[in-house]
Amino acid sequence: MDHPLQTILSRTGSFPLDVAHRLLQLHAGKSSVVFDPFCGKGTSLFAARMLNHSAYGLDIAPEAVICAAAKLIDVNLGRWTNYVNALRLRHRSISDVPSYVKVFFHPATLSQILAIRDKFLRDVNSSQEGQRANAIFGLANLLGILHGHATYSLSLPCAHAFSMAPGYVKRYAQKHGLEAPIQNVKLCLIEKAKRCLRLGVPNSVASAVTRGCARSCSAVFPELVGKVDLILTLLHISMPRLLWRFCSAR
């Protein structure tokens, strides 16, 4: 069990999609409300979508929220490609970027990254649903290609699932003659999207992903109190009473 959309971003602490899918097959009802209070990049939520369950998630990491949200929206490769190609980018100064970030990127590539990121962040708040969805998917894809070893990766070749010390990266690059690539970021984003969307996306379901702490889940999702059929999360914890309040009597 796998789906290319799951590859949008690698992240430490992730668990396989087929594990979440199988658990939901075993324990969820025919049409359940699934909640993950530590949703990470959205594996359990995407599995819920694949099985036509409502999916709601919470995480304190902003990049996790973006990636999880990207797995729940409706996105079409053709329309998204048109959206990216239509982006008009002005030169973005990198003078305010910390030196430990500049280590990883060619200045021309970094300027494009920031300009595109700024545009996506503006469109995330758009009143147009399609534009908002494209921007969320774009941000997730941008996160997915910032680092790595693919031809469309934007930085010096390095791990994309965990942080590497800039000093080490700089010394390693100098020792081995590595240079940060000059990339056309829009084309790289499109290549990544082609990989992620080659099988399309499952049918849409009722869903929401929000940034926040599990301790505040009742305040963030008051409409779910007493309505959740199954809590599926990676962390093995003793669920506090505030999480049990979410569960339905079923």
94 sits in the region (left: phi over 0; alpha: psi -120 to 50; else beta) called: alpha
Share of the chain above pLDDT 90, in %: 66
Question: What is the maximal distance between C-alpha atoms in the chain?
Answer: 62
Q: How far is CA 136 from CA 9, 81, 128, 219, 235, in A?
A: 13, 14, 12, 24, 26
Is residue 35 classed as helix, strand or coil in its secondary structure? Answer: strand
Question: How far is residue 67's CA from residue 81's CA, in Å, rounded to a whole number?
Answer: 18
pLDDT of residue 242: 52
Q: What pLDDT sits at residue 177?
A: 84
Q: Identify the residue whose tokens are 């910390």.
A: 98
What pLDDT score does 171 carry? 85
Q: How many CB atoms lie within 10 A of CB 146?
A: 18
How far apart, in whole angstroms, are the C-alpha atoms of residue 216 and residue 29? Answer: 26
Which has more pLDDT, 10 or 112?
112
What is the average pLDDT score of the chain? 88
The per-residue pLDDT for range 23-37, each reduced to its tens digit, is 999 999 888 999 999
Nearest to 46 by CA among 10, 21, 22, 65: 21
Fold for 1-74+201-250, please state it.
Rossmann fold (3.40.50)
**Looking at the predicted structure, is the pLDDT value of residue 12 above 80?**
no
pLDDT at 65 over 90: yes
What integer pLDDT is reported at residue 215 of this predicted model?
A: 86
**More confident site: 1 or 3:** 3
Q: Where do the structural domains in the chain lie, given as residue ranges?
A: 1-74+201-250, 77-200
pTM value > 0.85: yes
Distance CA 246, CA 229 (A): 8
Q: How many CB atoms lie within 10 A of CB 117?
A: 17
